[in-house]
Chain A
C-alpha cells in the first residue's frame, strides 16, 4: 500500500486492522502523533487528513491510501516552527507535552474551520465564527490535557487566530 504523509510517499504493508495512528507510529516511524485512549475520546492522536482534523486512532489506514495525511512532523520543524507550534512555546501551552501534537494539529484544523465560517455549539448566530475564549474552548473540547494547561492553550490559539484575522 502507498500512503502520502507530510507530502512524502511511503510504502507500507500494514495489517488490515491497522489504524492511521498505528500506521504512523509503528510502520512509518512518525511518533509525533500520540496514542492516549485509542478510542477517540482524548484527541492526542489528532492529525489532518486532506486538511481536516480527525482522530487517527478511529480510522483504518487501508481506507486512506488516496489521501493526504499531515502530522505534527509535517507542520513545522524545530528550526522552522509552524506559527501554532511557536505560539504554544511562547504561551507555555503544555506541561508534560503528551497531548501537545494533537492539540496543535487540532488547533490548526479548527482555525481553518472557523475561517470557513463554521459556527459552534456556543455560537449565538450560526452564520458567524468569531473566536472568543469560550468559542475556542468549545471547538477544542475533543482534546484533553490532563495537566490542565487549558488557559495557556487557549491563549496560544487566540494569538494565532488574531494574527490570521
Chain B
C-alpha cells in the first residue's frame, strides 16, 4: 500500500474542505482499503468521516425514511421500518457480502462501490477504468461476471452492488454536501454515469462532494416487493443477475411496476420500457416475455457472459410471476 496522510474530520464542514483529486473519504473502508492494498487506489490523503453524525435513520414527512450515509448495512437491513416498508431493501442488503462486511460497510460507501472486474483489480492488465486510455482486457478476456447492458467500446464493467439496485427500484434520492456548503439532492436515476469514453468517472459527484443521506419516498400502498439474486454460490458472492421489484396490482391488472437490475450493467439498471410493457396488463408469461424483450433489446454478450441474456429473461419472468401472483 502507498503511504498517505490521515485526517479525522471532526465536522461535516471540515470534511468537505479538500477538493484534491488524490483525497478520498474513508468510512467503512471495506472496498477502498482492499483497492489500496492492490494499488488500484493510491490516495495521497484519507479523510476519516466515520465519526461524523450521519448514523441515524429518521422518519420523513409523508412516510418516507432518511438514512444517514454512515448507517452500516447490517443496521439498515435490520431496521424495523425498513423491514415493514422497504422489504426489497432489507432483502438486497442481506443478499450482499458477509456478516462481517455488512457490519462495517456504510450506506454512502455502498453506493460508491467499485466494480469487481478482474482486470480492474489487476494493475498488470489494461483497464480504462483504472488507467484511462490503457485499453480493456475484459472484452476478449474472462468476462463471465461482466455487463451486457450499457457497455461502451471502452469498458464492460458491472456495478457490483445489491443495496443500490433496491434503492433504484425505490426511487431513492441521494443528498450531498458540496465544498462550497451547498446541499444537493440527486435522484438515484441521475446519480450514475454510463462508461462512454470515460469509464473512470462513475457518478455525477464533484470533487470533495460528500454523500450525507439517502432519502426513500413512501413505497406504493399495498406493493409486493422482492429481491432475487442469482449467483455462482448460495452466499457471499456477487450477482450474476439480480432483480429488485416493487409491483402493485388492481382489478387483476398490474397497476404499477418498478424493476431494477444488478449484475447487468455499469450501474444499477432500470428501464422505463420494461415497466411500460407491464403496467395496465393482465399478468401472463406472454406479458412478462414482452417485458424481458424490452429489457434485453440491446443486450450484448462478450463470450463468457453470453449466458446472462437468457438467464436474465428467465429470472425476470420468475420474479414477475411472484410479484403479480401469476402462476
Contact = CB atoms under 8 A, between A and B. Distances in A.
Interface in B40-96: 48, 50, 74, 77-78, 80, 83, 87, 90-91, 94-95
Q: How large is the interface on B (under 10, 10 to 19, 20 to 34, 35 or more residues)?
A: 35 or more
B33 A58 contact: yes
Contacts of A142: 97-101, 236
Query: For this complex, into which size category does the number of interface residues on chain A fall?
Result: 35 or more
Residue from the set B26, B48, B95, B98 with the largest chain A CB neighbour count within 10 Å: B98
A121 B94 contact: yes
Given A54-B104, A109-B99, A121-B235, 20 more contacts: A16-B3, A16-B4, A16-B5, A16-B6, A19-B33, A40-B100, A40-B101, A52-B103, A53-B103, A58-B30, A60-B6, A60-B26, A109-B103, A119-B90, A119-B94, A121-B94, A126-B83, A127-B80, A140-B99, A142-B97
Contacts of A16: 3-6
A53 B100 contact: yes
B33 A141 contact: no
Contacts of B91: 121, 126
Contacts of B78: 116-119
A100 interface: no
A51 B80 CA distance: 21
Contacts of A141: 98-99, 235-236
Contacts of B97: 142
Nearest to B1: A17
Query: 9 closest A-B pairs (Cβ-Cβ)?
Result: A142-B98, A141-B235, A141-B236, A121-B94, A118-B78, A52-B103, A126-B83, A142-B100, A17-B1
Contact of B100 (A106, A120, A138): A106
A116 B29 CA distance: 25
A93 interface: no
A106 B103 CA distance: 11
A63 B50 contact: yes
Contacts of B3: 15-17
B37 interface: yes
Contacts of A126: 83, 87, 90-91, 94
Interface of B: 1, 3-6, 8, 26, 28-30, 33-34, 37, 48, 50, 74, 77-78, 80, 83, 87, 90-91, 94-95, 97-101, 103-104, 234-236
24 contacts: A17-B1, A17-B4, A38-B37, A43-B98, A53-B99, A55-B101, A58-B30, A58-B101, A59-B28, A59-B30, A59-B104, A60-B26, A62-B48, A63-B26, A109-B100, A118-B77, A119-B78, A119-B94, A120-B94, A121-B94, A137-B235, A139-B99, A141-B98, A141-B236
A143 B99 CA distance: 9
Among B34, B80, B90, which residue has the most Cβ atoms of chain A within 10 A? B34
Contacts of B236: 141-142
Contacts of A33: none
Given A110-B99, A117-B78, A127 B29 contact: no
Interface in A1-34: 15-17, 19
B122 to A, nearest CB: 13
B90 to A, nearest CB: 6
Nearest to B82: A126
What does DSSP make chain A's interface, helix, strand, loop or mixed?
Answer: loop
A94 B1 CA distance: 33
A117 B4 CA distance: 40
B215 to A, nearest CB: 22
Nearest to B87: A126
A33 to B, nearest CB: 12
A118 B74 contact: yes
Contact of A55 (B4, B6, B104): B104
A116 B33 CA distance: 29
Contacts of A39: 34, 37
Interface in A132-151: 137-143
Contacts of B28: 59
A113 interface: yes
A139 B236 CA distance: 10
